[in-house]
Amino acid sequence: TLGLSSGTYFICVDSNSDASGLAYNVKVNYSVGTPSTLKVSTRNNTSLKLSWSKVSGASGYQLQQLSGDTYKTKATTSSTSATVSNLLAGKNYKFRVRAYKTVNGKKYYSSWKYLLTCTKPKTVTLSSLTTYSTHKIKASWKKVGGYASGYQIYWAKDKSFKNVVAKTTVSGQNTLSYTGKGFTKGRRYYVKVRAYKIVNGTKYYGSWSNV
């Protein structure tokens, strides 16, 4: 009720007043702010570098990963970032982070900040292209390892893909081919494929295949 900040306080009572002989308690709440952001700063196939906002007055941070039905601590650090390794490609993971302040050897924690994200899908191998007299090109690829929501295919007139003439996405990790239509007879085209993973409506892409 006094609105005091965290710290040590001394109380002096005037011995000439009527308050002498009374006992006084002062309880100071060592509250810690919650990190306002938690995000992926570097995304790889088997690791994620997570970063979060700095909390003023915090002594450090605790990062946890959901494993089954329980959260397990992956890092306790004074930094505002940490890398979690040994993950599976294209898989969803849930993390949470909280700040803490250490006072007289005891930790006082903030509330948790949560994040659902995924690792980067593995790189696709483009296995074959089949052309048809009906101005079609069928692209086929090998099933990507790990996890994926689908694939994206690009067709271009140049190997550097500065002039992309068509692109599409197909859903399903087991969808391993797509036939594009409407190409010009006798013209050379280049094709590449990459896998993607959808988390909360956002697509996260793997690296492009061979061209």
pLDDT-based confidence at residue 21 (cuts at 50, 70, 90): low
Q: Scanning the structure block, which residue is given the tokens 């790189």? A: 123
Instruction: Read off the tokens for 93.
Output: 């993971």
Q: What percent of the chain has pLDDT over 70?
A: 86
Residue 6 has pLDDT above 80, yes or no: no
Q: Which residues contact 192 (CB under 8 A, 6 or more apart)?
A: 126, 153, 154, 161, 208, 209, 210, 211
Please state the separation of Cα 48 from the chain's center in Å.
Answer: 7
What's residue 31's pLDDT? 86
The reported pLDDT for the residue numbered 30 is 76
**Residue pLDDT, tens place only, 28-47:** 667 899 999 999 999 999 99
pLDDT at 157: 95
For the residues 131-142, what does the mean pLDDT come to? 94
Buried b (16+ CB within 10 A) or exposed e, 142-178: eebbbbbbbbbbbbbeeeebeeebeeeeeeebeebeb
pLDDT band at 146 (very low <50, low <70, confident <90, very high): very high
Average pLDDT in the chain: 91
